Amino acid sequence: MAAGLGTRMRSGTPKHLHPLLGKRVLDWTLDTVRELGADRAVVVVAPGGEDVGEGVEAAVQREPRGTGDAVASAGRALEGFEGDVLVLDGAAPLLTADLLRGLLDEHERTSAAVTVLTIEPARRLPYGRIVRDDSGALLAIVEERDATPEQRAIRELNSSIYVFDAAALWPALAGLEPRNAQGELYLTQSIERIVAAGKPAAAWISPDSRSPEGINTRADLAECAAILRDRINERHLLAGVTIADPRTTWIDDGVELEPDTVVHPFTVLRGSTRIAAGAEIGPHAVAIDAEVGPGALVGPFCYLRPGTVLAAGAKAGTFVELKNTSVGEGAKVPHLSYMGDAEIGAGTNIGAANVTANFDHRPGQPKKRTKIGRNVRTAVDNTFVAPVEIGDDAWIAAGAVITEDVPPGSLAGFAPRQVTKEGYVYDRHGKRDD
């Protein structure tokens, strides 16, 4: 279910579409469903939210009439389906396939028409209360705002995750009425209808009370992000990656790290970034959709933007920014430089404070590329005005602005010699008394 607007998020973006470690919140749930091996995946969305991803069906809930109506909207897509229907919150990114397998196993063991996943959290949550009879059998689920003081004291809560026998689900939804404080059609009311029809209902307490919880606020989103960060980091640690401080290291789910990579504190790796074996990155480094080759070094406060490729043994040093740039094998951009839309050949050394001026001020023009060959030596304070090409083995003099191609083996640059105007400051502003 992903039709809710998530008003408590205080956002123009529906809560299930907020970004979370490289994916949308909804994608975390969908990936868990895929891992589980579900036959079909149907996402209930509000009008205009049909773009839910490949291999997923969208069912539109035309009006926000409650969770019962949302599931009924999916019924149109599942017409004729026989079997079990797993109902999930689309904003529950912490769910795991193992947890859902446990729920499905309990559903099969009890031969129930419906099985509810419940939680017993240590903290107070505004979730529905699980009402059982004296024998422990499930009778009903009462939403908090509709509950009596005695019912609010119940510690077992509804996680909003269910398994229904399809043959029992659709008739139970057909007769729902808005008899509650919110005037909505509650999915939980279908539990009472199933029980009233004499069919068995079961409730299985989750061994992990946190994973089934959904996101309702930005505070929830931040808490889930921290938990997922720890899960991702642990996965890499167990696979042979060194993460010096997992608490300050944020790695998107789609990032690939080979064994013997070293990640220093306060490093952020996002998107489809790939780090090869023996590479070292950070501290305080950011890489987005970048590729770092074997044994490469990414220094402190370095920013690798999309399209950056560091070959084996290459270096991007302190306060370096690279964008859509390839750095050849063993080449170095050691410090305080920006290289954008550039190709840097193997063995080249880029001096401090070098910049590629790649922007074309004419409207609609693409950025221009700079090509720097193999074994080139640039000096400090060089600017390369693209498009320009520097041949292999060339040297660039300090302070030079390069606007023309430099042939291989050449020395280029030589800004005007220093001119000193003695007394200029004193003549214009007077001598300051000490």
- Averaged pLDDT, 82-109: 95
Which pLDDT score is estimated for 329? 98
pLDDT cut 90: percent of the chain above it? 75
| Interval 356-414: pLDDT, tens | 998 776 677 788 999 999 999 999 999 999 999 999 999 999 999 999 999 999 999 88
Which of residues 385 and 50 earns the better pLDDT score? 385
Which pLDDT score is estimated for 322? 98
Return the structure tokens found at 85.
């229907």
Which pLDDT score is estimated for 432? 64
- Averaged pLDDT, 254-280: 98
Q: In the chain, list all ranges with CATH 2.160.10.10.
A: 241-323, 353-434
Q: Is the pLDDT of residue 318 over 70?
A: yes
Q: In the chain, list all ranges with CATH 3.90.550.10.
A: 7-205
Q: What is the rounded distance in angstroms from the CA atom of residue 434 to the CA atom of residue 431? A: 9
pLDDT cut 70: percent of the chain above it? 97
The H-or-E segment that residue 195 falls in is helix 189-196
Which of residues 188 and 76 earns the better pLDDT score? 188
Return the structure tokens found at 24.
């949308």
Which pLDDT score is estimated for 387? 94
Q: Is the pLDDT of residue 8 over 90?
A: no
Which pLDDT score is estimated for 419? 63
Q: What is the rounded distance in angstroms from the CA atom of residue 88 to the CA atom of residue 91? A: 9
Which pLDDT score is estimated for 362? 65
Which pLDDT score is estimated for 62? 87
H helices of 199-243, in order, are: 218-238
Which pLDDT score is estimated for 249? 98
With cut-offs at 50, 70 and 90, classify the pLDDT of residue 147. very high
Which pLDDT score is estimated for 359? 79
CATH architecture of 353-434: 3 Solenoid (2.160)
Q: Find out whether 407 and 394 touch, Cβ atoms under 8 Å.
A: yes
With cut-offs at 50, 70 and 90, classify the pLDDT of residue 152. very high
Return the structure tokens found at 143.
């939403």
Q: Find out whether 128 and 173 touch, Cβ atoms under 8 Å.
A: no
Using omega within 30 degrees of 0 as the cis cutoff, is the peptide bond preceding 387 cis? yes
Q: Is the pLDDT of residue 420 over 60?
A: no
- Averaged pLDDT, 132-137: 90
With cut-offs at 50, 70 and 90, classify the pLDDT of residue 353. very high
Q: Which residues are catalytic?
A: 335
What's the CATH class of domain 7-205? Answer: alpha beta
Q: What is the rounded distance in angstroms from the CA atom of residue 111 to the CA atom of residue 103? A: 12
| Interval 203-215: pLDDT, tens | 999 999 999 998 9
Which pLDDT score is estimated for 328? 98
Q: To 10 degrees, what angle do helices 97-110 and 25-36 make? A: 50
Which pLDDT score is estimated for 76? 82
Amino acid 418 reads Q
Q: Return the CATH number of 241-323, one of 2.160.10.10, 3.20.20.70, 3.40.640.10, 1.10.3720.10.
A: 2.160.10.10
Q: Find out whether 107 and 202 touch, Cβ atoms under 8 Å.
A: yes
